[in-house]
Structure 1
Amino acid sequence: MTFMEVAQPRWYERALVLAVQGVFFNAYFLGYILSPKFAHRVVGYLEEEAIHSYTEYLKDLESGKIKNVPAPAIAIDYWRLPANATLKDVVTVVRADEAHHRDVNHFASDIHYQGMQLKESPAPIGYH
C-alpha cells in the first residue's frame, strides 16, 4: 500500500498486479503442499532479490535519480517513522523487513530439510 501511494498506478497496472498475485498465490499454495521446504527456500530467494532491488532504489534516491519525497502517511503510521520521514527512510525500513523475511524463510526451509516441523523448532532468541 505504501508504494501504491508513491507510484499512483493506473487501473490496468493495478489489474496486472492482482492477476500476477492470483497466479503466484495458487502456484505457491500448490508448491507448499508438495514441499514446504522448497516453498520456504523460494520465498527466501525472492526476499534476497527484493533486498537487492531496494538497495538499488536507495542508491538512486541518494544520487538524486529519484526524488526523495516525504513519506506517505500510511508508511509513517505502519513503521512508526518520524513525521518528517522521507521515501529513503521508508525504503530503508522496508529493506530491513525483507531481510528479516529472508532469514525466517531460509530458517524454515532448513528446519523442514532436517525433517522437523516449525512448531518443534522455534527460531532461537535473537535470530534474524
Structure 2
Amino acid sequence: MEVAQPRWYERALVFTVQGVFFNAYFIGYLVSPKFAHRVVGYLEEEAIHSYTEFLAEVDRGNIENVPAPAIAIDYWRLPPDSTLRDVVVAVRADEAHHRDVNHFASDIHFQGRELKEAPAPVGYH
C-alpha cells in the first residue's frame, strides 16, 4: 500500500473483492475443504508467477527499485537498507510456503483424513 499509493476507489474495489472472495471461500470450505485448499494452492502459484514477472520488470529497470517501506523491513526482518526487490523476494517466498501448505492440506483431505491427524512434517515447506 505504501509503495503503490492506491486511490480511495481502488481500495474500495480491493475490499469488495476480498469480501466476495471470503464469503465464497467460506461456503466452498464448508462444502469441500479439499477443493478449497487446492484452489488456494493454485491461487498462490499464480501469485508466485506474478511476483516473478514483477521481479523481472524491476531487474530490467522498468519498475524503480525504491527503498523498502519500514513496515516490510520489520515484518520480514530484512536489513535496514533493503529495497522493493528484497521485499518482493520475501513475499514470493511466503507465497511459495502458502502454496505448499495448501496443497499438502488438500492431499490430506483427499486421503480422507483430517489435518489434525497428519501435521506437516518438520521442515516441510
Residue among 92, 108, 115 paired with 1:118: 115
Equivalent residues, number? 125
State the match for 2:37 in structure 1.
40
SS of the counterpart of 2:62? coil
The structural deviation recorded for 1:125 is 1.2
Structure 1 moving runs of 4+ over 6 Å: none
Separation in structure 2 between the aligned mates of residue 110 and residue 24 of structure 1, nearest angstrom: 22
Identity %: 81
SS of the counterpart of 1:8? coil
Q: Which amino acid aligns with 2:8?
A: W
TM-score, normalised with respect to structure 2: 0.99
Residues 25-48 of structure 1: per-residue CA shift (max 9 Å, x gap): 000000000000000000000000
State the match for 1:30 in structure 2.
27
TM-score, normalised with respect to structure 1: 0.97
Q: Which runs of 5+ in 2 are unaligned?
A: none
The structural deviation recorded for 1:69 is 0.1
Q: CA RMSD in A?
A: 0.3
Separation in structure 2 between the aligned mates of residue 45 and residue 55 of structure 1, nearest angstrom: 15
State the match for 2:97 in structure 1.
100
